[in-house]
Amino acid sequence: MIPTDATTAPATRPVRAQQPADRFGWWWAIGRRKTSTARVRVKPGKGEMQVNDRPFESFFVLERDRKNIMAVLERTGMKGAIDVKATCAGGGVTGQAGAVLLGLARAVMAYDPNQEPVLREQGMLTRDARKVERKKYGQAGARRRFQFSKR
């Protein structure tokens, strides 16, 4: 029989210790999406964001991508409180935006581990494992076949 009184179950999650920053004061994390990879680092600052040494707004021109990435900082209450630098490689615009989002969420969690429940609840710490299916031999594409002729 399982006891049901409140004394056996912990009321709140234990506070996790913050990971140490590197010697320059940055917290690092890596995010991946499709074939894109993003190395993201954060540190306390004025809220400046750069991607590949360019301003955040000029790198991600689609409003959708900017909103998705900024949602990490808004939901955790760190907008304007930390500086973000990201380096993207591979893939296209959507893949790189997804990689930066995951990397930023992981870096924020490394900076402040108490933000994990908020990030996990929003699904920002979940790696999207979908990739393009490879083309098969004897077919026109991954699943498309060549036209079949009986005669």
**pLDDT per position as a tens digit, 15-58:** 667 777 788 889 999 999 999 999 999 999 999 999 999 999 99
- Determine how β-strand 36-44 pairs with β-strand 82-89: antiparallel
Contact call for residues 67 and 25 (beta carbons, < 8 A): no
In which residue are the tokens 């920053």 written? 21
Q: What pLDDT, in 10s, does the model give residues 48-103?
A: 999 999 999 999 999 999 999 999 999 999 999 999 999 999 999 999 999 999 99
Q: Tell me the backbone φ, ψ of residue 70, rounded to 5 degrees.
A: -70, -20
pLDDT tens digits for range 105-143: 999 999 999 999 999 999 999 999 999 999 999 999 999
HSE-CB at 7 with a 13 A cutoff on CA atoms is 1
DSSP three-state, residue 108: helix
Number of C-beta neighbours around residue 114 at 10 A: 12
Type of residue at 88: C
Walk across the sheet containing 82-89 and list its strands: 27-33, 36-44, 82-89, 49-51, 54-55
DSSP strand pairing (27-33 vs 54-55): unpaired
